[in-house]
Structure 1
Amino acid sequence: MTSTSTFPIGGDLTVGRLGFGAMRLPTEAGSAREASLAVARRAVELGVTLIDTAHLYGGGANEELLAEALHPYPDDLLVTTKVGVAQTGPGGEWELNGQPDVLRDQVDHALRRLRVDRLELLQLHRIDPEVPLADQLGTLRELQSAGKVGRIGLSEVTVAELDLAREIVDIVSVQNRYSLLDREHEPVLAACEAADIAFLPWRPVAPAASETQTEIAAVAAELDATPAQIALAWLLDRSPVILPIPGTARIGHLEENVAAARLRLTPTHRERLDGLAAEQA
């Protein structure tokens, strides 16, 4: 990979900028699980070095799946997970839960499920408005000091929340929803770019891959690509701090996504695609 195709998270953890989101991988026993294992292994074979999971994804089942597929991990592979959403509602519903004991418990379970001694990148899945931010991030900082966590990131935050968090602990990544046709968090991206913080857009392809998006389809036809590949190529071109994490449960789709990293948009293509934001407003 060239330098433009990688990013040093936290300044020292270099990964390929096109990652893989494991959320969509089925974890139940049987043929679906076998297919999921094959997809995860194929991602690594294709050179993916950033894989995103979370406690929320099956209550840790997704973490266990990745460990089964990939452990012992290649030296250059980063498997990042998220904590802060727990099945603690009155009827067992999933809800935000940033209580320190919950965060500690989820980190310990993640270490066990992923079969590692340290989570090189841990992200707070959501800020729990019912718990002081200093308590949530202070807990993660304590886990960092204890050697269980290497680096800390956030997910679905505003610029103001990011600023507050950075007063408490060093933040190296932000995972917000963002795509070619969904640029609500443009200010957060700008803040990450200014501070050299990795920005991991989730839901990076839809709805740009929709057949109704004629301009995207036209650019795709000109470059002999798919609309999904154009959406990913635009993200990679948009900012050097962007690390898309598209997810899929199909090897063919995975291979298509990874190939998007080789696409090169011309200035004219970029201008046409950039202009779609105004049309969506």
Structure 2
Amino acid sequence: MDIGIGLQALHPDPDLSVVDWARRAEERGFSTLGTTDRLVYDTYEPLTALAVAAGATSRIRLTTAILLAPLRANHALFAKSAATLDRLSDGRLVLGLAPGAREDDYNASGVDFRQRGKLFDALLQRATWQWQDHGGIGPRPATAGGPPMLFGGFTKPALRRMITYGRGWIGGAQGVANFRAVLPRVQQAWQDAGKEGTPRLVATAHFSLGPNAEQRLHHRLANYYTSGTYTRESVEAGLTTPEGVAREAAAYAEAGCDELILFPHGGGLEQVDLLADAIGL
């Protein structure tokens, strides 16, 4: 199983360099750099942050985990932006996509929250058409047919998008038990659609290591998710010890996960080394 690491995305420290983080992550052998996405929050815009990371690295993949796709209301411009990043990174971009469930992000963007599913489908149709060298809008992505796409969620529309446009599925950070519970639906949808091979399965998790790790992680997650079952599950699934990280990684691997992306909460550049040491990189 591949192990990736997220950029410091929630309330990013302006003194913590994305360039330094990306280079250290690549040096330590992580498979990918991940980003999260919110509009109404102190986070970096995902494609912009990954573009900075791309310029500082040469091997590590660049994954949106996930990008709130329907907020990108100009579909041709989104396709161009993604193709540009894929081209400039020599084909390292992976697009994890989902519609999101926070209405405030849509209100702030002027995009109708109730129409996000239809907007998502229209974006996918336009982007895949444009990436196949249609419409006269370049650049052509480095990856033939466009960057590989993973889809979050387990509703019927989410699985339909996965089998129509995707290479696989990306799970939320609610722990390995949740991953195992959803997996049969993902695999069955892939099989029923007659897709070749198996879907790529990616999971996400939250971590913080070192002094005051539990306090940092719980405070940031509770603030980020605000309330509800998702908050409780995410906080409870957060990893704050090297032993916990190693156990969870082993459990995801045993469950059939192809890649686990761990997102940091607080701390500095030492979090890259602490995580790499915990999983034996």
Task: Name the TM tier (shorter chain).
Answer: 0.5 to 0.7
What does residue 246 of structure 1 align with?
262
Structure 1 segments (4+ residues) deviating >6 Å: none
Question: Once the two structures are superposed, what CA deviation does each residue of 1:246-276 show, in whole Å capped at 9, x if it has no partner?
Answer: 122533332232234349xxxxxxxxxxxxx
- Mapped to 2, the partners of 1:154 and 1:18 lie a distance apart of 19
- Mapped to 1, the partners of 2:61 and 2:89 lie a distance apart of 11
Please give the TM-score of this superposition, normalised by the length of structure 2.
0.60
Say yes or no: does 1:183 pair with 2:177. yes
- Mapped to 2, the partners of 1:174 and 1:207 lie a distance apart of 23
8 Å CA contact 1:18, 1:244 repeated in 2: yes
What does residue 195 of structure 2 align with?
none
Any unmatched runs of 5+ in structure 1? 6-16, 86-95, 212-219, 264-281
8 Å CA contact 2:171, 2:202 repeated in 1: yes
1:19 Cα offset (Å): 0.7
1:1-281 alignment, distance < 5 Å? 5=1, 17-24=2-9, 29=14, 31-32=15-16, 34=17, 36-53=18-35, 56=38, 61-71=45-55, 73-74=57-58, 76-81=59-64, 82-84=66-68, 97=71, 99=73, 101=74, 103-110=75-82, 115-116=88-89, 120-126=93-99, 130=115, 131-132=117-118, 134-146=121-133, 147-148=140-141, 149-155=146-152, 157-166=153-162, 168-169=164-165, 171-180=166-175, 183-193=177-187, 195=190, 196-205=198-207, 206-209=235-238, 225-239=242-256, 241-248=257-264, 250-262=268-280
What's the C-alpha RMSD, in Å, of the aligned pairs?
3.7
Give identity over the alignment, percent. 12
The amino acid that maps onto 1:202 is T
The amino acid that maps onto 1:77 is I
1:193 Cα offset (Å): 5.0
1:161 Cα offset (Å): 2.8
8 Å CA contact 2:249, 2:260 repeated in 1: yes
Please give the TM-score of this superposition, normalised by the length of structure 1.
0.60
The structure with more helix, counted as a fraction of residues: 2
Any unmatched runs of 5+ in structure 2? 101-112, 134-139, 191-197, 208-234
Residue correspondences, number: 216
1:158 Cα offset (Å): 1.0
8 Å CA contact 1:154, 1:173 repeated in 2: yes
8 Å CA contact 2:22, 2:53 repeated in 1: yes
- Mapped to 1, the partners of 2:50 and 2:93 lie a distance apart of 15
- Mapped to 2, the partners of 1:26 and 1:210 lie a distance apart of 19
1:43 Cα offset (Å): 0.6
The amino acid that maps onto 2:159 is D
* Higher relative contact order structure (alpha carbons within 8 Å, sequence separation ≥ 6): 2
